[in-house]
Each structure stands twice: as structure tokens, then as C-alpha cells.
């Protein structure tokens, strides 16, 4: 946006002399709290916390530590996944004390064969429990108040393995993960629905002990898709979408495919769902699908100018917002605008 060269989306590789390639999710970023009414900054902090025993320079250490996903509130605490040079932890930060760390729990290290570097890690809160999978082949359940790990369950990591040449012509095996665009966990009744960036299936486990319940294929049909993400769940239905299709699974039916529809074009952004319908961006239009039947209810063309495609969709319950590369556009139906204008005109009439 500012005219600076774009950063590469390729994974950072560290080559030490005669050492294997080290692929980590190391990054530097900040967490900022704003006042919703005024927009003023309340506090800002990084994920880096300097220890007295740290022998490294602060600048070097700080460059290895960063947040991996969006914070999730639990009382006064904000729970957020953090990476520190490939070590994954959960931080609990007190929002009333300028984000001061209340507790932190180490989960696991990134596997030596690599991870999906740009897949966000999402934390699910249900009651006193927090659930998270970080794309490293393990699902964790923690006590959200204390950070104590209640159980950890491994799952098979899927993908294509390839050899990468290192120093002195040595080969290291890396995994090109095949899975979801995000690392998502949904608490539904007594089950946890898991969509991991390194697993090619949607699967469910018992949230009390991690026992396996059922699974379903991420892409049940043979189609070349760029990504697959979760739209959300409602009425015991789980919706997911790709850049070419939208699918609905029945959670009550152990992951049975309820319906499937092709979009009829490429989707260049993410959609959203309500309790009655799903809204998906397709090329230069927005398509509305019935939540229970999957039927295409409506398709409306959106003119953003300069042949721009429709990007990510959001809604505040009143109108649809489109977030593109360099702009945010609010959409509202012409009928609603005419009705509002008519109401204002009627209210301005003076009765004599």
C-alpha cells in the first residue's frame, strides 16, 4: 500500500554450516489494545519477554518471538499462541494490566520436517477449558485459568515429503503439508471438531479425554483447490469453503456431507455465514446460499471499479463490508436506502 516492495511469502530458511535447514515460524509483531468508543491506544506489547539469564542480545532474541494468532478473551485474560524460535507456547495476558503476562505454558516444538508458516493458530474457549492445535501434529486441552495441560492427543500429519539439499550435499526430508488454511478447533457439545493445517481430514475427538470419535475428508471430491477454510457452524451444521466450492457437514451425523455446491467461478476472498445463509465472494459478485439446503438464493454483482474482484466479506448485522487490497467498502441494498430516505421524508412533513 505504501509503495514498498512486498515481502516474500516463501518460508525463511536458516542454513548453518554443515547443519540441517531450520524452518520455523519466527516473526516479530505486536499486540495493541484500543478503546472501542474513541479508538485511542490503551497499551501495546510484544511477545518478547527478556529474562535475566538471557545471554543473547535483546534485538536478536526479540526477532525470534511473535504472536501466531488472534487473542481470545477469558475473563480479564487474553489467551494467545506465541512462537519463540520454533517453540510454541500459550500466553495469558491481563488486559487490565496493560497486557502483563499472567501465565504461559509451553506446548511443543515445531517438527524438524517443517510446518505451514502462514496458517494462523486459533484458540477455542469452552467453560474453563481452552483448546488449540498449532499445526504440529498435536491437539492440546488446557485449563484457561491456570494454563495446566489437561491432555494432548497426536494425529497423523499429512502431506508430500521431499528431499532438500543442505551443506555438503546432505539431504533433509521436509513435509509439504496438506491441510486446512487455518488451525481451528470448535467445541461442540462433548466433542472437539479439529481442522489442522497439517491434516487432510476434518476430525472429532471427545473433549473430556481426547478419544477419537469420527473423521471426514477435507476435500471429498477431486478438485484442484488453493485453500480450504472454515466458515463457521450453526444448527449442528459445519460450513467450509474453498476457492471453487462450498460444503456443509452434519455434526450430528458424525461428519456426513450434507450438501456440496460449486461456486461457478473463483473466489478471491473469504465469506461469512449467518443463522440462515452463507455469503461467498465469487469473481466480481456475492452469492447467497441457503444454510440448510445449499441452494443458491441470490447472486449480486458488485462494482468496485478498476476490474477489482470482491475480497473478504464481513458483516455487522446491518450491511456487508468488503475488504480489498487497498480499500474497505460498505455495501447496502438500494431498497434499504430508498426505504430510509422515504422514512426521513415522511417524518419531515408538517401536518396542518
* C-alpha cell belonging to residue 87: 517453540
Q: Please tell me the predicted confidence (pLDDT) of residue 352.
A: 41
Q: Is the pTM of this model over 0.85?
A: no
Q: State residue 351's pLDDT score.
A: 44
Query: Among residues 310, 322, 278, which one has the least CA distance to residue 296?
Result: 278
Question: What local confidence, expressed as pLDDT, does residue 5 receive?
Answer: 39
Residue stretches of the chain with pLDDT short of 70 = 1-24, 51-63, 165-170, 222-223, 306-307, 333-352
- How is residue 263 written as a grid cell? 461456486
Q: Where are the alpha helices (DSSP H) in 303-348?
A: 334-348
Q: Which helix (H) or strand (E) holds 178?
A: none
- pLDDT of amino acid 21: 52
**CA atoms of 237 and 294, how far apart (whole Å):** 11
Rounded Cα gap, residues 182 and 54, in angstroms = 33
b vs e for 216-255, b when ≥16 Cβ sit within 10 Å of the residue's Cβ?
Answer: bebbeeeeeeeebbbbebeeebbbbbbbbbbbbbbbeeeb
Can you spell out the DSSP letters for 116-135? -TT--B-EEEETTEEEEE-S
Q: Give residue 256's pLDDT.
A: 93
Render pLDDT for 292-351 as a digit per residue (tens, 0 to 9).
999 999 998 887 776 678 989 999 888 899 987 778 888 876 665 555 555 555 555 444
pLDDT of residue 346: 57
Per-residue confidence (pLDDT) for residue 342, from 0 to 100: 56
Contact between 259 and 293 under an 8 Å Cβ cutoff? The reply is yes
Cell numbers found for residue 345? 421524508
Burial class (CB within 10 angstroms; exposed 0-12, middle 13-18, buried 19+) of 189:
exposed
Amino acid 22: pLDDT: 52
Please give the sequence-ordered ranges of beta strands (E in DSSP) within 285-327, or none if there are none.
285-290, 296-301, 312-315, 320-323
Residue 224 neighbours by CB under 8 Å, 6+ apart: 244
- How far apart are the C-alpha atoms of 311 and 114, rounded to whole Å? 30
Q: Listing from the earlier edge strand, what are the strands of the sheet with 245-250? A: 228-234, 237-242, 245-250, 256-262
Secondary structure percentages of the chain, helix, strand, coil, to 5: 5, 45, 45
Partners of 67 in the β-ladder = 82
- 209 neighbors 146 (Cβ within 8 angstroms): no
The confidence score (pLDDT) of residue 171 equals 75
User: Residue 59: which H helix or E strand, with range?
Assistant: helix 58-62
How high is the pLDDT of residue 51?
A: 66
Residue ranges of alpha helices (H) inside 167-214 are none
Task: Judge whether 198 and 175 are in contact, CB under 8 Å.
Answer: yes
Q: What is the pLDDT of residue 8?
A: 34
Amino acid at each position: 500500500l505504501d509503495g514498498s516492495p512486498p515481502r516474500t511469502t516463501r518460508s525463511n530458511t536458516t542454513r548453518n554450516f554443515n547443519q540441517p535447514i531450520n524452518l520455523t515460524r519466527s516473526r516479530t509483531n505486536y499486540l495493541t489494545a484500543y478503546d472501542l468508543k474513541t479508538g485511542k491506544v490503551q497499551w501495546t506489547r510484544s511477545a518478547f519477554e527478556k529474562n535475566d539469564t538471557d545471554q543473547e542480545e535483546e534485538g536478536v532474541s526479540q526477532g525470534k518471538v511473535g504472536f501466531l494468532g488472534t487473542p481470545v478473551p477469558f475473563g480479564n485474560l487474553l489467551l494467545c499462541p506465541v512462537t519463540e524460535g520454533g517453540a510454541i507456547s500459550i500466553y495469558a495476558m491481563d488486559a487490565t494490566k496493560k497486557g502483563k503476562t499472567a501465565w504461559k505454558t509451553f506446548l511443543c516444538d515445531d517438527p524438524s520436517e517443517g510446518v505451514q508458516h502462514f496458517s494462523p493458530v486459533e484458540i477455542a474457549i469452552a467453560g474453563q477449558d481452552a483448546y488449540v492445535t498449532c499445526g504440529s501434529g498435536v491437539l492440546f486441552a488446557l485449563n484457561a485459568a491456570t494454563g495446566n495441560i489437561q491432555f494432548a492427543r497426536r494425529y497423523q500429519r499429512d502431506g508430500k515429503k521431499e528431499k532438500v539439499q543442505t551443506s555438503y550435499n546432505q539431504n533433509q526430508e521436509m513435509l509439504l503439508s496438506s491441510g486446512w488454511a487455518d488451525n481451528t478447533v470448535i467445541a461442540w457439545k462433548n466433542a472437539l471438531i479439529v481442522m489442522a493445517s497439517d491434516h487432510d481430514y476434518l476430525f472429532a475427538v471427545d473433549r473430556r479425554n481426547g478419544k477419537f470419535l469420527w473423521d471426514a475428508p477435507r476435500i471429498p471430491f477431486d478438485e484442484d483447490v488453493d485453500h480450504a477454510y472454515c466458515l463457521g457452524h450453526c444448527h449442528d451444521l459445519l460450513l467450509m469453503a474453498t476457492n471453487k466450492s462450498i460444503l456443509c457437514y452434519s455434526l450430528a451425523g458424525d461428519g456426513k456431507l450434507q450438501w456440496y455446491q460449486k461456486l461457478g467461478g473463483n473466489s478471491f476472498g473469504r465469506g461469512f455465514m449467518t443463522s440462515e445463509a452463507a455469503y461467498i465472494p465469487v469473481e466480481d459478485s456475492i452469492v447467497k446460499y441457503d444454510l440448510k439446503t445449499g441452494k443458491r438464493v441470490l447472486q449480486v454483482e458488485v462494482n468496485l471499479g478498476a476490474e477489482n474482484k470482491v475480497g473478504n466479506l464481513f458483516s455487522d448485522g446491518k450491511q456487508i463490508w468488503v475488504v480489498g487490497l487497498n480499500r474497505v467498502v460498505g455495501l447496502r441494498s438500494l431498497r434499504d436506502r430508498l426505504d430510509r430516505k422515504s422514512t426521513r421524508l415522511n417524518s419531515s412533513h408538517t401536518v396542518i
